[in-house]
Structure 1
Amino acid sequence: MFLQERIGKQIIRSSQYRIGRDSIDPDSLRSLVKNHDFKVLGEISNQYEGIAPSDSRMHPYYALAEELNIPIAIHMGSGLPGHFYFEPKMTPLLSNPLELEPIIRKFPKLRISVMHYGEPFIDELIAMMGNFPQIYADIGGIQVYYPREYFYEYHLKKLVSAGFGKHIMFGSDMILFPELLGRAIEVINEAPFLSMEQKEDIFYNNAARFLNLDAK
């Protein structure tokens, strides 16, 4: 309660979900959205259990998110080095954004944030963004995971050059290493190929559009 009073509406409420770990059912999620101002379903972290995004057990949740017009955020990324050894069901195979196509075909109005932008499947992400404009990408800490030159040239610059600068959202993912947050911000601020407008889009404007926030 004290934290809520301090931050006001600066933090948006969302609900995490993972099959086999979390017991929240669709009716309970509906209550959170209707009565407690939850605005996002995510992080959906089924990848850690080796469960594909299109698993039919998720369909009631996707249907509800589409009905209530709340976006979802799905973990899709290769994970930490050696992830297999402490979460053996985690698989980078499920990082491929093409895995999202069956969901969108069944729930065509669903807004999806690809957390960690499904790296390293950049071409696949571009293909999905080109076909489905409701897909956005959250860079979520990967900007400090790879060497900066590599991230610039083969990931961020490629997405922007392909015309999807309006669909990239800043993310920090600095739960364990909050001291890296400053570096994560610098990576975007110091990108020589980004205009000021493009940086503003990544830091705020794109997320405001995706989350239906007041752009002001």
Structure 2
Amino acid sequence: MDVEELVAIDVHTHVLASVDGHRSGAGTDALAGTFGAIPELTVPELAEHYQQRSMAAVIFTVDAFTRTGEGPRVSNEEIAEQAARFPDTLIPFASVDPGRGAEAVRTARRLISDHGVRGFKFHPSDQAFYPNDASAYPLYEVIADAGLPALFHSGQTGLGAGQRAGGGIRLKYSNPMHLDDVAVDFPDMPIVIAHPSVPWQDEALAVAAHKPQVYIDLSGWSPKYFPPQLVAQAGSLLKHKVLFGSDFPAISPDRWLRDFEDLPIKDEVRPLILKENAARLFGLIR
């Protein structure tokens, strides 16, 4: 991956369709109340989208078997295998539900050794677990031993918003303060707190400022809606700890970047957020 030629690295994008023609359907329906109609793209379609923009992207699915009784919308194996066709553009992450217990540990090891995944995505509210629950620690040990990052959804979610009982989603699991324990117990595992962490933005900022291996991605919200304290610290105290993420296809990178231009952030900080911090996190540059 030629970082010099990239405009940006989007650290948060979703694969919602399989190359075999299967589309997630219910998954996008659960988000429609917040984001409207969402295109369901395959890995090759995502690659084309980002190649046209001279960008790279982290891609993943979500395995929420414990809560839903169903596996991920698109398999981790497919995502990794398809991403290998586009090494100049795509960085494959995996998603394994911690509620699967010992099976989750075995699966994570296999995805790392056999499929070359580059990190793991967790969605505590969708997966119905507290990130600092000790039952998840054997899974984190596998990730930490491999030197890979773990990305955690935080704060409010569009999943189930406006539905009866919020679609069964419990927001309490996604308070980023739970990740402070994980950062202490796994000091060498990079942790990315995904999204502006409404209503716990100050907690996310505190954890990222205090723990050297903790980052924040800016996905899931248009920058014009970012809390002011997030904007202030992204451009100063946390300028090396904040990452561009769109949450595509829920939010397009084009719209995100347009709104980002209007934020009061110094010109010299913008490249850090858009690609350099992520490039260092993923070992693409030093």
TM-score normalised according to structure 1 size:
0.82
Name which of 60, 69, 82 aligns with 2:162: 82
Work out whether 1:188 is the aligned partner of 2:260. yes
Q: Report the equivalent of 1:213.
A: 284
Shift of 1:83: 5.9
Residue 194 to residue 158, structure 1, CA distance change in 2 (3 Å): closer
Q: Report the equivalent of 1:71.
A: 149
Deviations 1:75-129 (A, max 9, x none): 11211243663422321x3332211122122222111000114233222122212
What RMSD over aligned residues (CA atoms) do the two structures have, in Å? 2.7
Point out where structure 1 has 5 or more consecutive residues left out of the alignment: none
Q: Report the equivalent of 1:201.
A: 272
Tell me the amino acid that sits aligned with residue 141 of structure 1: G
Alpha-carbon separation, structure 2, partners of 1:161 and 1:174: 23
Q: Which has the higher contact order (CA 8 A, sep 6+)?
A: 2
What secondary structure, in the 3-state scheme, does the structure 2 residue paired with 1:127 have? helix
Q: Is the 8 A contact 1:116 1:140 kept in 2?
A: yes
Alpha-carbon separation, structure 2, partners of 1:65 and 1:50: 20
Q: Is the 8 A contact 2:120 2:150 kept in 1?
A: yes
Work out whether 1:95 is the aligned partner of 2:174. yes
Shift of 1:29: 1.5
What secondary structure, in the 3-state scheme, does the structure 1 residue paired with 2:95 have? strand
Residue 6 to residue 68, structure 1, CA distance change in 2 (3 Å): closer
Name which of 219, 232, 237 aligns with 1:163: 237
Shift of 1:162: 5.4
Q: Which runs of 4+ in 1 moved over 6 A?
A: none
TM-score normalised according to structure 2 size:
0.63
Alpha-carbon separation, structure 1, partners of 2:136 and 2:155: 19
Q: Report the equivalent of 1:173.
A: 247
Work out whether 1:7 is the aligned partner of 2:86. yes
Q: Report the equivalent of 1:57.
A: 135
Number of aligned residue pairs: 205
Tell me the amino acid that sits aligned with residue 182 of structure 1: D
Point out where structure 2 has 5 or more consecutive residues left out of the alignment: 1-18, 20-42, 45-81
Q: Percent identity?
A: 23
